[in-house]
Amino acid sequence: MSEPSFRHLSSTPRSGSARAGATAWEAAFATYYVDLCEYVLRFVGSGAAAEDVVHDLFLQLWDTPDQDHLSRPYLFVAARNRALKYLRHRRVVAAWIERASYEEPPMADSPEDECLRRELDDAVRRAIAELPGRCREIFVLHRRDELSYQEIAARLGLSLGTVKSQMWRATVRLKQRLTPYLATSSPRTDRPSYQLL
C-alpha cells in the first residue's frame, strides 16, 4: 500500500491578517503542515485522520499567543501526542461498539407499560399544576428550562435562599402526591433500588 502524499495540501498562506502573531502561525503552517501530516500518518494509518489531527493542532495553536509553540520540536511532539490520543479514543470507541453488540436490545413496552406511563405522566402534570404559583414557576424554570438557582433568582428578582426553599417545597409536595404512583407492590430484582431521603 502506498502512503498518501500531502504535498498538494501545502498552499501559500493568506496575508494581511490583523491578528498579532498570525504571520508566525501562517509561516509555521506553511513550513510544517505537510511534514506533520506525514509524521502523524505513520501513527494513525489514515490520511484523513492524520490531516484531522494536524488541523486540530494548528487550530489550538491559533489562539495561543506564545510563539515558542510554533517551533519544530514542539510541533512534532504535540502532533505525536495528539496522534496517540486519537488512537486511544479510537480504541475506546471500538470497545464500546463491541460491548453494545453483545447487549440485548431493550424489550418493547407492553400495552400495560404504556398505559402506566401515560397515567404517571398525567399524574406528574396534575401535581405540578397544583403547586402554589411561585413554587411551580421556580420548579418549572429549574427542571424544564434547566436554569440554575442563581439564574432563576436573577430572573425573578428573588434571593437564592428563596429559590432553594421553594424548590425544596416543590420536591416535598411532588413526592407526597406521586408516592402512590411510584410505589411498587413487589420489589424488582432486575434494577437497583434507591431510597429517597
Q: Is the pTM here over 0.85, yes or no?
A: no
* Sign of the dihedral through C-alpha 94, 98, 100, 105: positive
Neighbour count for residue 25 (Cβ, 10 Å): 20
Q: Is 68 within 8 Å of 74 (Cβ atoms)?
A: yes
- Domain limits for position 86: 7-102
Q: Are residues 81 and 124 both part of a single domain?
A: no
We report the CATH number of the domain holding residue 144 as 1.10.10.10
Is 194 domain-assigned?
A: no
How does pLDDT run across 62-114, given as a tens digit for each residue?
877 677 678 889 999 999 999 999 999 999 988 888 888 787 766 777 888 88
Is 188 domain-assigned?
A: no
Residue ending a domain, among 73, 102, 131, is 102
Output the pLDDT for position 100. 80
Q: Are residues 23 and 44 both part of a single domain?
A: yes
Count of the separate structural domains present in the chain: 2
Output the pLDDT for position 116. 84
Cell of 61: 495553536
Residue ending a domain, among 57, 77, 102, is 102
